[in-house]
Amino acid sequence: MATGWASLRRCQASVGKCGRSRRAPIVGARSATRLRGSTVAEVLDAAGVDIGNALPASRQPTTGGKRPRQLTLLGEPAVDGRLLGLPTSSTARIVVYVALHRPTTRARLAAALWPDAANERADGSLRTGLWRLHRAHRGLVQTATGLIRLDPDLSVDYHELTRLGRSLLLDPNDPCLNPNDGYSGVLRLAAAELLPGWDEEWIFHEQERFRQLRLHVLESLSVRLHRQGVYGMALEAALTALGCDPLRESAHRAVIEVHFAEGNIGEARRQYLACLRMLRTELGVEPSRALLDLGRHFQGAARGAARSIRGPVGLAREERSA
């Protein structure tokens, strides 16, 4: 406990030097008996010290005088390029949960991260995790208000790209997106994956929601680009969506539409037949009306090309066998 009391005294001195009007209380002898054997984090928590701001400056990691400003969740979680840790790390899990679920209570956070532990043990694990987190990334997570929240000045790539994707879906003609800017943000969204390798139950919903957003954005972007005549990028977006989910009929339709708009009837027909085979053999379902309407739309041109090669019944036979 000598080390714990020394840390507590240093923290109280640090708080006093910062000019705070309300000093952390000194733990009395009776409380000391109750806290004997506790960790430093638990002693400070019981003493009312905000461990997010009470660490002495000499114990704080330095980042060139600047506070962390960018939290990465698309890929391995990191703060300003510094990895937070593996999915088993308590500090990484605290940051990820708060980033995904926004401000939350201690009880809810402890129950979510340690669902199989007793309440007291889960609370202790949370206190220790917060202590370690504040030592490594001061101010990243704030606890003084009773809720655990991220630094409000911190930017999170997941939230930024989610807002961009939703803007594109709500207004496909948004003038802020044009071929000249390279669609850099949308391309980042297309290549992104939320926390790959993390399989926590409280992440599944966000991962699936983000995956669906990516797919819809890619398909919407493909439609917009091919209407603008940017066929190469339109096809790239459609094929990326198809690569993410080969069983997705709407992604197949996006590919077909680009080929047809570009005048590549043979490519469009081939993709159309491949989609028919996929639906009937792998999913055991019939194509949607939208796909059939699309097929009929270019069927005349496709039949014209087919007649010159193998006769008027060639395409019909392929459709039946698909």
**177 with 264, same domain?**
yes
pLDDT greater at residue 315 or residue 170 = 170
**DSSP for 163-215?**
HHHHHHHH-TT-TT--GGGTTHHHHHHHH--BSTT---HHHHHHHHHHHHHHH
* Helix, strand, coil in percent for the chain, rounding step 5: 60, 5, 30
**289 with 184, same domain?**
yes
% of the chain at pLDDT higher than 90 = 53
**31 with 104, same domain?**
no
Q: What's the pLDDT at 201?
A: 92
Q: What's the pLDDT at 320?
A: 59
77 — pLDDT class (breaks 50, 70, 90) = very high
The per-residue pLDDT of the chain, averaged, comes to 78
**51 with 71, same domain?**
no
Residue 123, domain extent: 61-153
- Asked if residue 84 lies in contact with residue 202, where contact means CB atoms within 8 angstroms, the answer is no
Q: How do residues 26-63 score in pLDDT, each as one tens digit?
A: 344 344 334 334 443 443 344 444 444 443 333 444 44
Q: What's the pLDDT at 309?
A: 53
Boundary residue ending a domain (94, 121, 153): 153
Angle of the 201-227 helix axis to the 249-262 helix axis, nearest 10 = 20
18 — pLDDT class (breaks 50, 70, 90) = very low
Return the amino acid letter for 105.
Answer: T
Residue with tokens 């006769």: 311
**118 with 211, same domain?**
no
Least confident of 17-31, 144-158, 212-226, 254-268: 17-31
Least confident of 110-119, 160-169, 230-239: 160-169
Arithmetic mean of pLDDT, 299-314: 56
Q: List the structure tokens of 51.
A: 């461990």
Pairing of strands 147-150, 141-142: antiparallel
**168 with 100, same domain?**
no
Which residues lie closer than 8 Å to 45 by C-beta, 6 or more apart? 51, 127
Which residues lie closer than 8 Å to 157 by C-beta, 6 or more apart? 70, 71, 72, 73, 74, 192
Least confident of 125-139, 143-157, 186-200, 296-310: 296-310
Q: What's the pLDDT at 68?
A: 44
**217 with 290, same domain?**
yes
